[in-house]
Structures are given as structure tokens and as C-alpha cells.
Amino acid sequence: MMVRTQITLHAEHHARAKARAAVLGVSFAEYMRRLVDQDLAGSSKEAHVSIVFDLGTSGRADIASDKDRMVAVATAAAKRFRPGGP
């Protein structure tokens, strides 16, 4: 069973979260649910491989063409979502 809820965000956080949801191809609500799920599940020392592959925008596997930059961005993203992470 789902429960409807309401949150208040800073305007910049709201805009950035909506943009990130769009990049991932999910609704803002689904993006927020995923963040809550991830936080409540605890942190993992390993980043999920999908973080790297979500960085490509061509619809193909862009990882080989710019892998070093993409891995750095994905690693930074994983650290931001890790509770207690640096």
C-alpha cells in the first residue's frame, strides 16, 4: 500500500531533482521513492553498474568513448547518495 505524502524542497534542489529524474526517464515521484528506498536499504561500498550506463545519452553503450570521465562522475554520484559518505 502506498501513502501519499508532501515534502518541501529548496527551489534549486527541486529543479535539480526533476532534471535528474528526467535524465533517468522516471517521474519525480519515482525518483524520490528510489532515493528513500536506497537510503532505507543502507549503503553499499560498491556503486551499482547502472549508474555508469545511465550517463550515456545516445541510447547506445557510450561507456567506451569516454569511460574515464563517466566512471569519475558515477563514483561521485554514488558517494553523494551514500549515507555517511564523504
Q: What pLDDT digit, counting tens, does each position of 9-44 carry?
A: 999 999 999 999 999 999 999 999 999 998 888 765
> How crowded is residue 74: how many other Cβ atoms within 10 Å of its Cβ?
20
> What's the mean pLDDT in 54-77?
66
pLDDT band, very low/low/confident/very high, at 69 (cuts 50, 70, 90)? confident
Pairwise CA distance, residues 23 & 42, whole Å = 24
- 66: cell is 569516454
Give the per-residue SS3 of 15-51: HHHHHHHHHHCCCHHHHHHHHHHHHHHCCCCCCCCHH
- 43: cell is 549503503
User: Cell numbers 547506445 label which residue?
Assistant: 60
